[in-house]
């Protein structure tokens, strides 16, 4: 490496890194905005390459292996910043290629008010992986059940929707109406039923592992004091946001999950539409399901600290809209629980015990 190249590298103030499966593209700028680094490296050469660079800001898009790369660079003295791809897009100039992407990432990394993704620990990534495996298994089970129902409908046999209805009636239907079903079709459906049983076993095993983590992890135990929040939601929240340090308020976290109205505002006129649906669809779905469970039990509302608000909102809101509003409130409560490290309504319970 020449002296000129070393001098250019010593002037690097920010690096944008476009992460690929096997190849990384680096674009670096000095403090005055001059281009001083433009390089393509192999994944295995990451550590060796950055050992030749001065500590600086390193921006990268949130993607596969971004958290691993971020932890590696932080241990080497760099300041990694994981940026959501939606925030990088406005800085992309010209046609899309790897170097232009890396340059846009470097530009975005310098924005002082840019909200970055918090770096996940290995425990969070492990927990997130468990949730993704469970979600895939549940999706496959649903597809298997739908295929069973579809094959039966082709034979003129209908079964009520829902996992429980199919589970309770499938075998009896095959026995009672065996004259209407060919032996081959019966064999196909029974094989699908066996697949379903195996998926049930896998889902239960993964769910038990997730629940075990939820019982041993302090933040998960605190989250489970929130109404409607069980082991699945509590562990999913911890896996996604950790202690909630990336958000300044519960409202910010609710906006990140996508539970706030989408804005179409201009000329001083504010127009609110449907929810934004940004962030994690999986987490948003779980929170809305938790809200719907609470709405199914109005006799429990008086015992909740937000029960009066819920009863009043129930009189003026459609049930679906109310479920989203309640999911928003549960998200804000979850942020407060994570940030302050105590269970839901802990202060009120303390006061009640004192009285």
What share of the chain in percent tops pLDDT 70? 95
| pLDDT at residue number 146 | 93
Look over the chain and give the mean of its residue pLDDT values, rounded to a whole number. 89
**Which three-class secondary structure state does DSSP give residue 30?**
strand
Q: Give the residues across from 124 on adjacent strands.
A: none
Distance CA 221, CA 215 (A): 6
- Residues 277-293 have a mean pLDDT of 92
Give the SS3 label for residue 244: coil
State the burial class of residue 150 (Cβ atoms within 10 Å of its Cβ: 0-12, 13-18, 19+). Answer: exposed
Q: How confident is the model at residue 180 (pLDDT cuts 50, 70, 90)?
A: confident
Provide the CATH number for the domain formed by 3-109 in this structure: 3.30.420.140
Determine the Cα–Cα distance for residues 335 and 253; give it in Å rounded to an integer. Answer: 7
Q: State residue 93's pLDDT score.
A: 87
Percent of the chain at pLDDT > 90 equals: 66
Sequence-separated (6 or more) residues with CB below 8 Å from residue 102: 16, 17, 18, 25, 26, 27
pLDDT of residue 355: 30
pLDDT tier at 53 (50, 70, 90 boundaries)? Answer: very high
Average pLDDT over residues 242-267: 89
Query: Is residue 113 very low, low, confident or very high in pLDDT (cuts 50, 70, 90)?
Result: confident
> pLDDT tens, 296-354?
999 999 989 899 999 999 999 999 999 999 999 999 999 999 999 888 874 454 434 43
Query: What would the pLDDT profile of 75-87 be if each residue is shown by its tens digit?
Result: 999 999 999 988 9
- Where is mean pLDDT largest: 1-5, 90-94, 144-148? 144-148
Residues 6 or more apart in contact with residue 105 via CB below 8 angstroms: 16, 17, 18, 27, 59, 60, 61, 83, 88, 91
Question: What tokens were used for 177?
Answer: 């109406």
Confidence band for 4, pLDDT divided at 50, 70 and 90: very low
- Which residues is 40 bridged to in the sheet? 25
Strand partners, 60: 17, 82
pLDDT for residue 252: 92
Bridge-based pairing of strands 57-61 and 261-263 is unpaired
Using the structure block, give the residue that is written with the tokens 């669809």.
281
**What CA–CA distance (Å, rounded) separates 317 from 338?**
29
Confidence band, pLDDT 50/70/90 cuts, at residue 178: confident
pLDDT for res 331: 95
Higher pLDDT, 197 or 350: 197
């Amino acid at each position: 490496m020449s002296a000129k190249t070393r001098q250019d590298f010593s002037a690097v103030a920010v690096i944008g890194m476009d992460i690929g499966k096997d190849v990384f593209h680096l674009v670096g700028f000095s403090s005055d905005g001059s281009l001083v680094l433009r390089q393509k490296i192999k994944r295995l050469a990451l550590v060796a390459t950055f050992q030749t660079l001065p500590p600086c800001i390193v921006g990268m898009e949130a993607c596969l292996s971004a958290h691993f790369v971020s932890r590696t660079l932080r241990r080497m003295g760099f300041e990694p910043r994981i940026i959501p791809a939606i925030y990088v897009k406005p800085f992309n100039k010209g046609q899309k290629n790897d170097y232009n992407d890396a340059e846009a990432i470097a530009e975005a990394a310098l924005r002082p008010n840019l909200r970055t993704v918090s770096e996940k620990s290995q425990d969070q990534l492990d927990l997130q992986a468990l949730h993704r495996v469970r979600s895939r298994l549940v999706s496959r089970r649903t597809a298997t059940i739908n295929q069973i129902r579809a094959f039966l409908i082709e034979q003129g046999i209908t079964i009520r929707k829902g996992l429980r209805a199919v589970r309770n009636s499938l075998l009896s239907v095959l026995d009672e109406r065996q004259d209407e079903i060919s032996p081959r079709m019966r064999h196909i459906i029974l094989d699908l039923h066996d697949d379903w049983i195996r998926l049930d076993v896998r889902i239960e095993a993964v769910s038990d592992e997730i629940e075990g983590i939820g019982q041993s992890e302090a933040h998960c135990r605190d989250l489970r004091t929130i109404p409607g929040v069980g082991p699945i939601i509590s562990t999913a929240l911890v896996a996604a946001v950790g202690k909630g340090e990336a958000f300044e308020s519960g409202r910010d976290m609710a906006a990140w999950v996508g539970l706030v109205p989408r804005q179409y505002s201009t000329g001083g006129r504010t127009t609110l539409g449907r929810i934004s649906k940004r962030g994690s669809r999986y987490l948003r779905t779980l929170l809305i399901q938790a809200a719907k469970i609470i709405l199914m039990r109005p006799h429990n509302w008086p015992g909740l600290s937000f029960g009066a608000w819920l009863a009043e909102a129930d009189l003026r809101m459609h049930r679906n809209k109310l479920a989203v509003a309640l999911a928003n409130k549960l998200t804000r409560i979850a942020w407060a629980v994570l940030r302050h490290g105590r269970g839901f309504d802990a202060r009120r319970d303390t006061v009640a015990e004192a009285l």
